[in-house]
Amino acid sequence: MCFIQGSRANAPCEKVSDCGCSGFLAFLEELFGDVATAGGYRYGAKDNLGHRLDTLKIIENPRGGYLGVYHYSPTENSRDFNVSLAISTDILNWKFNRTIEPEASQPTIAQAPNGAYIVAFEKHVFIGTKEERHLGFYYFPNLTSLLTNSSAYKFIAPLTVAARNEGTPNIYNITIENSIMQVLVGFHYNDAFGLDRVAIGHLIIPLDNPQNMIWNCTKPQQKYNQELLETYPDIEGHIGDRDYGQIFGRNFTLQEAQYVRGNDSTWAVFLYDHLTNTFHELNIKTHKGSKSFANPTFTVLNSPAGDIRIIMTYFLHTAGNAAMPGEGGELIFTKKLQASVTDEKYDLVIYSNSTIKHYCVDVAEKSVNIVVTGEDGTKGYCIIKLPKNLTQSLWNDSFIVLLDGVEYPFEKWSDSQYTYVYLHYLHSKHEIKIIPEPFCIITLAVLAGSSILILYKSKRKEIAKTADESLLRR
């Protein structure tokens, strides 16, 4: 006989993809793509002086509010851009602070572990009548330095991958060891056919002498570029700007690409999952139906209460009437993922769009129990953030999920500290229970009527890789 809580024979589906509902990646595609469900949004964003906030990258201001870097043209229809800094208290409205770098564009910004700020940009370099694009960097030792341009250190990198153009930087991570800061930077370069492709490089900053910055270890991301082109073979244009971040312990990149070379009405944005090494095109839905999106950025902010705020920006091209009236230019929108349950005793957090009617951790039963409700027939989801010491002590890291007593498909992944469980369902009242993976006890008759007991664990497909693997493992 077999002792199992719930029955696999009655399970709604064997895999998440069989449910007719979406999985975690589809959840993210909607999060990044559906502007209509945003908590706040602004099309054609400009600062208080009327400057366009093109390619805006937003981070948190430790003094309160937000910091943003962007480029704008001092004269209408000019391609001479200034990289600038602005300040906001509400994400959507911005006050000009200062120009960081003239004759530059495509900026990004990140705060380092020591409280310093790195601003990277695409510098327009003129050699005689010839124009080149080089990567440029500023090191600001603190926030005051960033806001006032005091004690700042600047470095313009030499071309290392392309003969003429390298730009659109993003920052993957910043580490410090033995007073040496290393910044891992993504950028585009022009290949032999004049097409933008993605590369990476390392900016080395000796903290005792920041003016002696070094740019090295640059290389094209050939597998990354090839994966996008093989997944979407209709892409014939550039693979350009991108931004990187982490959501629920999992690393993602938003990547722009152009379907038709030279046609700005054909830009699209793709979500790259560093866990599965796969690309997924975003079906971005604006209020009026604009079609061409580029220069994606996203920032994930965690509140003390456990809530997650995600800030996203896209540039909406007007070429070929791709942007609907009133939607062209820089789009800013934000969404909030509310922590429905924050259990400080167990360091456990539940994010859900359902109403949580009941929750408990039953150590004796070795279970986590959640009762959810919602409007009948609407889509519901739960993302459960579990500390690894809890999953180890309760289940030895091996568990299943029951929905109303029936084993139910879920997705699972881990970072260095937590395990994340994602499941979705159609709303009514449901009981979700996480329990140890069951053992079956089978009696086999062998050798003249004697018997032995064999214990075995059921096997199932699940995402169980860790999200803290090497960032650029391809």
pLDDT tens-digit readout, 59-83: 999 999 999 999 999 876 666 899 9
In degrees, to the nearest 5, what angle opens at C-alpha 302 toward C-alphas 298 and 307? 110
Mean pLDDT of 458-470: 43
pLDDT over 60 at 440, yes or no: no
Q: Count the helix, strand and coil residues of the chain and give each as a percent rounded to the nearest 5.
A: 10, 55, 35
Q: What are the distances in angstroms from CA 102 to CA 80, 98, 187, 310, 345?
A: 8, 11, 20, 30, 52
Which residues, in sequence order, are bridge partners of residue 160?
Answer: none
In this prediction, residue 302 has a pLDDT band, given cuts at 50, 70 and 90, of confident
Cβ pair 68, 53 in contact under 8 A = yes
In this prediction, residue 439 has a pLDDT band, given cuts at 50, 70 and 90, of low
> Rounded to an integer, what distance in angstroms lies between the CA atom of residue 276 and that of residue 287?
32
Mean pLDDT of 415-422: 96
115, with CB counted inside 10 A (0-12, 13-18, 19+), is: exposed
pLDDT over 80 at 459, yes or no: no
pLDDT over 60 at 248, yes or no: yes
In this prediction, residue 303 has a pLDDT band, given cuts at 50, 70 and 90, of confident
> Rounded to an integer, what distance in angstroms lies between the CA atom of residue 384 and that of residue 340?
10
Instruction: Specify the DSSP element, H or E, that contains 391.
Output: helix 388-395
**Cα atoms found within 13 Å of the Cα of residue 197, Cβ hemisphere only:** 21
Higher per-residue confidence, 320 vs 438? 320
Instruction: Specify the DSSP element, H or E, that contains 97.
Output: strand 95-102
pLDDT tens-digit readout, 339-379: 999 999 999 999 999 999 999 999 999 999 999 999 999 99
Six token digits for residue 238: 């550039």
| pLDDT of res. 22 | 59
Mean pLDDT of 298-306: 86
pLDDT tens-digit readout, 143-196: 999 999 999 999 999 999 998 899 999 999 999 999 999 999 999 999 999 999
| pLDDT of res. 77 | 60
pLDDT over 50 at 56, yes or no: yes
30, with CB counted inside 10 A (0-12, 13-18, 19+), is: middle
- As a three-state string, the secondary structure of 440-453 is EEEEEEECCCEEEE
% of the chain exceeding 70 in pLDDT: 87
Cβ pair 243, 254 in contact under 8 A = yes
Sequence-distant (≥ 6) Cβ neighbours of residue 415 within 8 angstroms: 249, 250, 466, 467, 468
Name which of 75, 56, 78, 80 is nearest 67 in CA terms: 56
Cβ pair 372, 336 in contact under 8 A = no
Name which of 279, 210, 197 is nearest 238 in CA terms: 197
Sequence-distant (≥ 6) Cβ neighbours of residue 29 within 8 angstroms: 22, 271, 280, 282, 283
pLDDT over 80 at 18, yes or no: no
In this prediction, residue 419 has a pLDDT band, given cuts at 50, 70 and 90, of very high
Which residues, in sequence order, are bridge partners of residue 189?
Answer: 166, 197
In this prediction, residue 438 has a pLDDT band, given cuts at 50, 70 and 90, of confident
Beta strand pairing status for 367-373 and 355-362? antiparallel
pLDDT tens-digit readout, 218-239: 999 999 999 999 999 999 999 9
Q: Where are the beta strands (DSSP E) in 265-417?
A: 267-273, 278-281, 293-302, 308-316, 329-337, 339-343, 348-352, 355-362, 367-373, 379-387, 399-403, 406-408, 411-414
